[in-house]
Structure 1
Amino acid sequence: MRLFHKKAIMGVGVLLIFIATILTAAIAAGVLVRTSGVIGVKAVEVEKVARERLTTGMEFVKITGYSNTTAGTIENIEIMGRLKAGSSPVDLQEMFITFVEGSNVFTAELEYNSSSNETCSFDNVTAETSYCFEPLFGNTNPQVEEEELIYIRYKLNESHKLESNDNFELQLIPKVGEISIINVRVPSIKTYAVQIY
């Protein structure tokens, strides 16, 4: 009888070790499942942020320079812009415009007063430090949304006016998203409105 008793005790020990192994494996599997779920959620969040940063932004449709025809120089720049394909809305209050010409670099921010009925004109902006916008299609709030087309107006200082064949760069820099950059050369200035791009 003692022989069977000893084997029974060994069998119970093996059974306990087997159960402990299964419980440990179950706990480890639960931890792995939970961790993979958390990692999956984080991956979706990272993908969303990455997609927003890559697709969000403005694109240039047309750039027009307005000249002082007697001096033959461009003093005002009007950008027609819209959202890039697939872009999230862009808040113009959080977007900067950078103008680069030679060693001159100027950054402008939106001059916007929601309580004012002022229209966007070159006279209403401070040269080289601010810009204004006017919707061609869309509403008047500074949030550019899908299918909206806007005019952005920017003014140059007297000492930085553009002449024929001058090269310059414009950058539209949203808070979140891709920077839009365009390098252009001023064509011959013969009329008041000169299409640059």
Structure 2
Amino acid sequence: MLSRRKKAIMGIGTLIIFIATILVAAVAAGVLISTSGVLQQRALLAGTEARKRITNSIEVISLLAHGNSTAETLNDFEAYIRLQPGSDPIQMRKFDIQIITEGWDQAATLQHKSMDPSEYEVGQVDNNSWTKVIDIDGDGTEDYVRLFEANSTTNGEAVLYFNLSDAGMSRPIYLGYNLSSTSVRTLKVQDKVILDSDYNGYMLVNISGNASNNTIPASTSFILRNWSEECAFDHLIPETRYCFVVMHGNDDTVLDSGERLKLLYKATPDHALGTGQEFRMIFTSEKGRLSEIRAYTPDVVRTTKVPLWPLN
């Protein structure tokens, strides 16, 4: 009897060990399956990101610039672009342009309402004192604006000057009228760029309403902002910003397959390209392959719009 009981106990022990082995194997298999699933998911994500970096890019259809035949310089660039075949849509808010020449290079980001929709209401401005406004030139110190009377040097128009704490006195913004009399004038200033003496741009001025007695009253809309309602060279902050016009497609900030955009980029007068000059323009999206063109300006500037790319 004792012998039979001992064998039964040994059989139960073996069964317990067998069950434990199965459980350990099951847990190990579960861990392996889970790990392989995670690794597969990571591999798919890595592959997708790698594919995007290889295939996501734009094609430059053409590039032209506006020529000044008297000074023999080129500025105000227009680049026509579309997606490369197989590319995913590109968010233009995360799309940059960089122009590189022998003497300078500069990167530009999108100038668009979706980038910074905020506005600043100035309030009353007159010719008696400087009115404090926000930090325009980005040095952390508030700046000032003042109205100056019309005179012979301003073509008989009242002008605004901004006193920028870091960049100094701005170039004048013309208001279109002599405001020294009691006669009420209706002002309409749309997206005029505040420029310093070197033509570096900062914010845009918008004024709509009445003015007289060298005073723009608080009841008149006087707004500063970083974006323009219209993409145009006259409303574009030079060198650090670009804008786009939808030539074919939806009016949003995403470049989709089949759509074409016209990008506008403006350099300061000191950085306008001369004749026979080599330059590069690089287009970069957040996740994708950069697109680059190398070109030379012509030896002679004879037309208003000068084609620069593709090379003939």
User: In structure 2, what is the Cα distance between the partners aligned to 1:26 and 1:190?
Assistant: 81
User: In structure 1, what is the Cα distance between the partners aligned to 2:292 and 2:2?
Assistant: 90
**Corresponding residue number in structure 2 for 1:149:** 260
Q: What SS does the corresponding residue of 1:196 show, helix, strand or coil?
A: strand
**Corresponding residue number in structure 2 for 1:124:** 235
- Does 1:190 find its partner at 2:190? no
Instruction: Give deviations 1:154-173, integer Å, cap 9, x for gaps.
Output: 11211111122201111112
> How much has 1:4 moved relative to structure 2?
3.6
2:242/2:265 contact within 8 Å kept = yes
User: In structure 2, what is the Cα distance between the partners aligned to 1:16 and 1:136?
Assistant: 76
**Corresponding residue number in structure 1 for 2:215:** none
User: In structure 1, what is the Cα distance between the partners aligned to 2:228 and 2:35?
Assistant: 55
> How much has 1:65 moved relative to structure 2?
1.7
When residues 117 and 128 of structure 1 are mapped into structure 2, their CA distance, relative to the original with a 3 A threshold, is closer
2:60/2:79 contact within 8 Å kept = yes
User: In structure 1, what is the Cα distance between the partners aligned to 2:111 and 2:19?
Assistant: 72
**Corresponding residue number in structure 1 for 2:71:** 71
**Corresponding residue number in structure 1 for 2:101:** 101
The one of 159, 162, 167 equivalent to 2:278 is 167
User: In structure 2, what is the Cα distance between the partners aligned to 1:120 and 1:14?
Assistant: 82
Instruction: Give deviations 1:134-189, integer Å, cap 9, x for gaps.
Output: 11111222221111011111112111111222011111122232222222111233
**Corresponding residue number in structure 2 for 1:86:** 86
Q: What SS does the corresponding residue of 2:46 show, helix, strand or coil?
A: helix
Runs of 4+ more than 6 Å apart: 114-117
Q: What SS does the corresponding residue of 1:38 show, helix, strand or coil?
A: helix
User: In structure 1, what is the Cα distance between the partners aligned to 2:40 and 2:56?
Assistant: 24
Higher share in helix: 1
Q: TM-score scaled to structure 1, two decimals?
A: 0.88
> How much has 1:11 moved relative to structure 2?
2.6
> How much has 1:46 moved relative to structure 2?
2.6
Where does the alignment leave 5 or more consecutive residues of structure 2 unmatched? 118-226
> How much has 1:16 moved relative to structure 2?
2.0
Q: What SS does the corresponding residue of 2:274 show, helix, strand or coil?
A: coil
User: In structure 2, what is the Cα distance between the partners aligned to 1:23 and 1:120?
Assistant: 68
**Corresponding residue number in structure 1 for 2:161:** none
> How much has 1:85 moved relative to structure 2?
2.0
| Count of matched residue positions in the alignment of Structure 1 and Structure 2 | 197
Instruction: Give deviations 1:38-75, integer Å, cap 9, x for gaps.
Output: 22223223323332333223221111121012222111
Cα-Cα RMSD: 2.2
When residues 154 and 61 of structure 1 are mapped into structure 2, their CA distance, relative to the original with a 3 A threshold, is same
User: In structure 2, what is the Cα distance between the partners aligned to 1:139 and 1:22?
Assistant: 61
Q: Which moved more, 1:108-117 or 1:54-63?
A: 108-117
**Matched residues, percent identical?**
36
Q: What SS does the corresponding residue of 2:273 show, helix, strand or coil?
A: coil
**Corresponding residue number in structure 2 for 1:36:** 36
Q: Which moved more, 1:163-172 or 1:53-62?
A: 53-62
